[in-house]
Amino acid sequence: MPELIITKNIDIPGIDTLAVYREHGGYQALEKALNQYQPDELVEMVKQSGLRGRGGAGFPTGMKWSFLAKNDKPRYLCCNADESEPGTFKDRMLMEKNPHMLVEGVIITSYACRVSTAFIYVRGELALAGRQVERAVQEAYDAGLIGKNILGSDYSLEVIVHRGAGAYICGEESALMESLEGRRGYPRLKPPFPAVIGLYGGPTVINNCETLSTIPAIVENGAEWYAGFGTEKSKGTRIFCLSGHVNKPGNYELPLGTPLRTLIYDEQYGGGIPGNKNLKAIIPGGSSTFILGPDKVDTTLDFEAIAAAGSMLGSGGVIVLDEDTCIVGAILRMTEFYRDESCGKCTPCREGTYWMTEILERLEHGHGREKDVDLLMDICDNISGKSFCPLGDAATSSITSGIKLFREEFEYHVKHGHCMVGAGRTVPDTESVQGASLHAGAR
Amino acid sequence: MISEQAKQRMRNLAARYPVARSAVMPALYIVQQEEGYITQEGLQAVADAIGMTVDDVESVATFYTMYHQQQPGKRVIKVCTSISCYLRNCDKLVEHLEQRLGIKRGETTPDGNYTLLTTECLASCGTAPVLQVNNEFVENLTLETADALLDKLDRELKAGQARGTAPTEAEARPYVR
């Protein structure tokens, strides 16, 4: 088992309390940061570490911090803990089990970025995670780790835990700021970028929960140590959320550059596909990323290799589909998500996700038309790159890549009215719940 | 009735944020906790505490799915139906719950005990299929454990009625801070 960083202490009983967290070295990184480093030196350290955002886009964290506009407006930090990308469940675990590590990361980052008010935006559905983070923040206030003159320094910080209320779009950074400002979660046009004009008009840094949870270890052990993990361009470790058709789904922290095959098949991790079925497809970074075929199973999990294979590392949500999965049904299910979660602000996304779902639904249920496959591609082309925020692009990823890889399955649906694989292979009769459920759309 | 205590909590929240308006989401949770869902009176109370118009508050309340627009059941069951749960047969689970409760997804039982909802990815894909009861997770479900869960919930609800007491806050309401 390779060395762990983020999940190293996660199973220690009571690590979610301040006392136990401190027994295991907690808040020493904060002390070190405040006593030994100027803010700019910390920014430089994180740049040197090579840490890249763990939320989806993979932007270099230190560079993001250095982009903050230098003016006299108050600066803000937003921790994006609105985890809701289908296939992703790492931030929830971090918040539920080790919330102080996140809080420490928030305080250090706030100091490094000269922020005086930080927000932790926790997804509304994650009730326990929200309570854990709120409790950790309160404990930190009571211990003088947040508030005025932290640990006797001249640095002061307020931290507010803000709970979402059910909107995937608020994971998009500008929609998150709108939500924090007390409005509907509609994305903003960029530029200006949040680093220049963000929350309440001030320069704002927005980082993912896992990203911020990694900061204490980097400050504690140094940039060089962290950069020693991973590949030349993708440094460090990250949590891969493995789900779908594997024997042992779960969160696995691995150095970047680990082969997909290891994650899926190694006994320490996924342990292979149930029933020893064949691999059909892999979605490597949450449902917003392009589907990869089974020939890509030896690709390494780092930003560059996954991009070269034709997808993105995204949020680290690796979804595995076995040979019996109806690709039309699976893509329909993913597309329904984007239809339901489109905020409705811009037309290509609002209307396009609706129509794509309609067309996929009729294909899935045997009412498809011959031109539907091309029509889907055409709609994707009219959404991707033409919508306000990345949600529109994301909605097209599974469709374009799915059709590219499995076009014959779509056409089979048109011709035969049902799937060419799995339990949906025969026309599902109403008695067969198993077949209907595997085959989606029992509505 | 929105209690004076709730109103004070909302005013405190408005003062805690750099801009009062930011308190609208937590304030909506508070009035939902008071009344079970977002009522006209609740909207008015939030508007008064924060200094917004009622329409403006309502525009926020109707954007976010966790604010109930009508009275939900005492137990709100949300079943995740996104891709990872789908690959692990969540649809069969939803059908089973529909049959057992005698309602369709999106509906509330006539006795007001249960609301059954399907929901988007709940960030529990490693333990799929998964559902939440009043926002607390129940993971790695099978049809058998789902039945056992409902048996337990039935017993709890019956015990509450036998006592003749109103359900406790934790029983009756979705999570609020």
DSSP-based three-state secondary structure for B100? helix
Q: Range of B13's domain?
A: 4-61
Chain segment A85-136, per-residue pLDDT in tens: 999 999 999 999 999 999 999 999 999 999 999 999 999 999 999 999 999 9
Report the pLDDT value the prediction gives residue A440, as an integer from 0 to 100.
37
* Residue A25 pLDDT > 60: yes
Whole-structure pTM value: 0.94
User: In CATH, what number is assigned to the domain containing residue A256?
Assistant: 3.10.20.600
Same domain, B87 and B47: no
User: Which residue is listed with tokens 């932007």?
Assistant: A59
* Residue B171 pLDDT > 70: no
Question: What's the longest Cα–Cα distance across chain A?
Answer: 73
The confidence band for A420, taking pLDDT boundaries of 50, 70 and 90, is confident
The confidence band for A426, taking pLDDT boundaries of 50, 70 and 90, is low
Same domain, A223 and A317: no
User: Which residue is listed with tokens 């590219």?
Assistant: A404
User: In CATH, what number is assigned to the domain containing residue B29?
Assistant: 1.10.10
Q: Note whether residue A194 is domain-resident.
A: yes
Does B18 contact A245 at a Cβ distance shorter than 8 Å?
no
> Which sign does the torsion angle of CA B66, B72, B76, B80 carry?
negative
Q: Judge whether B149 is closer than 8 Å to chain A, CB to CB.
A: no
Report the pLDDT value the prediction gives residue B173, as an integer from 0 to 100.
40
Same domain, A145 and A29: yes
User: In CATH, what number is assigned to the domain containing residue A429?
Assistant: 1.20.1440.230
Report the pLDDT value the prediction gives residue A433, as an integer from 0 to 100.
36
Does A244 contact B119 at a Cβ distance shorter than 8 Å?
no
Same domain, B82 and B143: yes
* Residue B54 pLDDT > 70: yes
Report the pLDDT value the prediction gives residue A431, as an integer from 0 to 100.
35
* Residue A441 pLDDT > 70: no
* Residue A434 pLDDT > 50: no
Report the pLDDT value the prediction gives residue A1, as an integer from 0 to 100.
67
Last residue of a domain, one of A183, A201, A227: A227
Q: Please give the ipTM for the structure prediction.
A: 0.92
* Residue B166 pLDDT > 80: no
Provide CB contacts within 8 A for A404, sequence distance 6+: none
The nearest CA of chain B is from the CA of A343 a distance in Å of: 8
Report how far residue A310's alpha carbon sits from residue A305's, in angstroms, rounded to the nearest whole number: 9
The confidence band for A421, taking pLDDT boundaries of 50, 70 and 90, is confident
The average pLDDT across A1-11 equals: 91
Chain segment A315-333, per-residue pLDDT in tens: 999 999 999 999 999 999 9
The average pLDDT across B127-140 equals: 97
Q: Note whether residue A148 is domain-resident.
A: yes
The average pLDDT across A161-178 equals: 97
User: In CATH, what number is assigned to the domain containing residue B120?
Assistant: 3.40.30.10
| Number of domains within chain A | 3
Query: Please, is A432 exposed, middle or buried when counting C-beta atoms within 10 Å of its C-beta (0-12, 13-18, 19+)?
Result: middle
Backbone angles phi, psi at A158, to 5 degrees: -105, 140
Same domain, A102 and A222: yes
Q: Range of A360's domain?
A: 327-438
Pairs of CB atoms within 8 A across A/B: 160
Does B19 contact A200 at a Cβ distance shorter than 8 Å?
yes
Report the pLDDT value the prediction gives residue B164, as an integer from 0 to 100.
55
> Other C-beta atoms within 10 Å of B171: how many?
15
Percent of residues in chain B assigned helix, strand, coil, to nearest 5 = 50, 10, 35
* Neighbour-count burial for A86-113, b at 16+ CB within 10 Å, e otherwise: bbbbbbbbbbbbbbbbbbbbbbbbbbbb
User: Which residue is listed with tokens 């009622």?
Assistant: B54
- For residues A210 and A239, is the Cβ–Cβ distance under 8 A? yes
Q: Note whether residue A85 is domain-resident.
A: yes
Last residue of a domain, one of A282, A300, A322: A322
Q: Note whether residue A81 is domain-resident.
A: yes
Q: What is the DSSP letter of B140?
A: S
Return the HEC string of A74-117. CCEEEEEECCCCCCCCHHHHHHHHCHHHHHHHHHHHHHHCCCCE
% residues pLDDT > 90 (chain A): 93
Chain segment A202-231, per-residue pLDDT in tens: 999 999 999 999 999 999 999 999 999 999
- Any bridge partners for residue A81, and if so which? A122
Chain segment B92-103, per-residue pLDDT in tens: 999 999 999 999
Report the pLDDT value the prediction gives residue B163, as an integer from 0 to 100.
64
Q: Judge whether A88 is closer than 8 Å to chain B, CB to CB.
A: yes
| B 106-145 near A (Cβ less than 8 A) | 119-128, 132, 135-137
Report how far residue A196's alpha carbon sits from residue A75's, in angstroms, rounded to the nearest whole number: 10
